[in-house]
Amino acid sequence: MKKRQIGKSDLFVSPLTLGGMSLGTNKKVATEIIHTAIDSGINHLDTADLYDFGENETIIGEAIKHKRQELILTSKVGNHFDKEKEIWFWDPSPAYIEKALDDSLRRLQTDYLDLCLLHGGTIEDPIDDIIATFERLKDKGKIRSYGISSIRPNVIHKYMHKSNIDAIMMQYNILDNRPEELFPLITDKKISVLARGPLAKGILSEQAKQQMAKKAIDGYLAYDPTSLHAVVSALQASQEAMTKLAFQYVLHETTVASAVFGASSLAQLQENSALLNDLLMDEQTYAWIKKLRKQLTYDAHRIENI
């Protein structure tokens, strides 16, 4: 398994990343999933302060406290939340970013993040101040690198041209290939993509039938039920497992550093991590999938000349 560099940073991550959002609040189950992921070769864990209103970070922090130096740890800031009331609002102010990071570090039982992402963002944000804040936190040694989690082309464009971000987290999978229109510019800027949702809510996994019935009964993005079923059926008819194809597809793009998947059970984790050493897709299969799925583009928050 070859690790991939995140942007221009000195961070190298496994091609699969364990995302924390689906871990749940059962500490025993979550800890077993985390430890099994690490033992399998996954060295990158992704969380956010908002997940379970801080509880996700607390569970991860306890689980990795004796393994911290072996791992690349990512978390996110920007959502000002009240754990007791379970409410939150967008707050990218420098003061809150600094406070939120300190709170995250306390919950994660560490004194630095390898990668800190702005958890969203709008074009109306004080972008210059946000960038200055991340640079200051980097100078202080509280973060090693920073980036954004966004699917808004205009916001992404601003940060790519005004900051030293190393990573952009974006939803990206066979069905949602909207990020591909931005890949040439992202690659030119020597920035990496962290692909969240690579299995499209499980639609692109071995549980496709069940997940389509639960989460995509009306279709998925530009796919109505009929066209969605046609693509999924064609993928299922392949000699390769759906999950394997889904991971291989997003990782075929050199712009993508890692595919971020969630796991709520040990079985899910083991199914995905078993593919760590089998993630290369041949050009013929890649071309077949590209012809199979629709080519989508972002409808909103666009910029000129992308």
- Catalytic sites, residue numbers: 51
Q: Which residues are CB-neighbours of 191 under 8 A, at least 6 positions away?
A: 7, 147, 160, 165, 166, 167, 168
Going from the C-alpha of 38 to that of each of 13, 61, 155, 237, 264, the distances in angstroms are 12, 14, 33, 32, 16
Q: What is the dihedral of CA 47, 48, 49, 55, to 10 degrees?
A: -40
The type of residue at 173 is: N
Six-digit token string for 186: 């992202």
Q: Which is nearest to 37 in space by CA: 72, 2, 76? A: 72
